[in-house]
Structure 1
Amino acid sequence: MTTTQPTPRATGRREERDGTAYLVFERTFRAPIGDVWAAVTESDRLVRWIGHWAGDPSTGAVSFFMTAEAEDAPAETVHIDECDAPRRLVMRSARPDDHSEEWRWQIDLAESDGVTTLVFAQEVSDVVLAESVGPGWDYYLDRMVAAEAGADLAAIDFNDYYPVFAEHYRRELT
């Protein structure tokens, strides 16, 4: 049986958090919170939709390889600033295009009646950044949903997200 992927849509919205602009995305899963937590923190689960990490998280940092973009993706150091399993994870890393700035992410999970809601937020400093990372996170989070549902990730095409959604994210930050 062939399953059809839903038509991609731009889901991110701008939100102020402690005076800082973030793009915020939500996804829901018919799964317990511990299962969704594993999908965003365990290397063997992450690799299904975005990449994998190596190292010891208890040190406060891991090496992350974003292999969904390329099998030979270089490692980047991701610092773990807060980890309250299975509810909250706050991380940061150097921006790939500007190592003087950092990217900051927040992941919050909540479960109700067997449904877990994931709220993912990335700090965004300007419209240009939002135009690219907004569509990127819609793409990756849709891949996560598909991976967790056992769907065909090859059916999710980045060209359906970028540059198609760039205007939505431009409007969100202006």
Structure 2
Amino acid sequence: MTKTHTASATGRREERDGTAYLVFERTFRAPIEDVWAAVTESDRLVRWIGHWSGDPTRGAVSFWMTAEAEDAPEETIHIDECSAPQRLVMRSARPDDHSLEWRWQLDLDESQGVTTLTFAQEVADSTLAEGVGPGWDYYLDRLVAAETGDDLDADLAAIDFDDYFPALSEHYRRELA
């Protein structure tokens, strides 16, 4: 029996220090250290989004977003804060305008064997939110499938970006309007 997946818009707008962010949450029946590994270790990241190389203690790594294409270009991800296993704050140049940056915050909290991942990306306007929002719903659903699914290939195959974009774009345009 083939599993089905329904895409839904889960992100919400939140002000953080006077800046607009899109914020997403996912929960896992797993210890915080396991979820931390899923979002920080290259061999776990590659299952749902991409991989990195380098020495994160130097404050930056090279990252390839291979979930989009095997020949994804290299990006430099700067690590601004790392408090394992609770918080990671990063930034990189935006692919559409290298003079601007993407900024992300990942926060983990565990309670009674359930870990909540709160992921936030700074998003300045509704036009940018139209693509960023559906994209993060897609990637975070892939993370959940990679970490909780019984058949990784089948679970990931059930998650199709065409179900997210442009279908969820209007939700995110309204969130940042």
Measured against the shorter chain, the TM-score band is: over 0.9
Letter in 1 for 2:31: P
- Unaligned stretches of 5+ in structure 1? none
Matched, 1:166 2:169: yes
1:21-70 deviation digits (Å, cap 9, x = unpaired) = 00000000000000000000000000000000010000000000000000
Matched, 1:95 2:94: yes
Give the number of aligned pairs.
173
CA RMSD, 1 decimal: 0.8
Change over 3 Å in CA distance of 1:123–1:161 after alignment to 2: same
Matched, 1:50 2:49: yes
Q: Aligned partners of 1:88, 1:36: CA distance in 2, in Å? A: 12
How do 1:1-174 residues align onto structure 2 when only pairs under 5 Å count? 2-150=1-149, 151=152, 152-174=155-177
Q: Aligned partners of 1:5, 1:34: CA distance in 2, in Å? A: 29
> What is the TM-score when the length of structure 1 is the normalising length?
0.98
Q: Secondary structure at the match of 2:38?
A: helix
Contact 2:5/2:158, CA 8 A, preserved across alignment:
no
Change over 3 Å in CA distance of 1:107–1:11 after alignment to 2: same
Q: Aligned partners of 1:74, 1:8: CA distance in 2, in Å? A: 27
Give, in angstroms, the shift of residue 4 of structure 1: 1.9
1:4-26 deviation digits (Å, cap 9, x = unpaired) = 23411000000000000000000
Q: Secondary structure at the match of 2:21?
A: strand
Give, in angstroms, the shift of residue 3 of structure 1: 4.9
> What is the TM-score when the length of structure 2 is the normalising length?
0.96
Q: Aligned partners of 2:126, 2:174: CA distance in 1, in Å? A: 8
Identical pairs, percent:
81
Kindly report structure 1 stretches of 4+ aligned residues shifted beyond 3 Å. none
Contact 2:105/2:121, CA 8 A, preserved across alignment:
yes
- Unaligned stretches of 5+ in structure 2? none
Change over 3 Å in CA distance of 1:30–1:3 after alignment to 2: farther
Q: Secondary structure at the match of 2:99?
A: strand
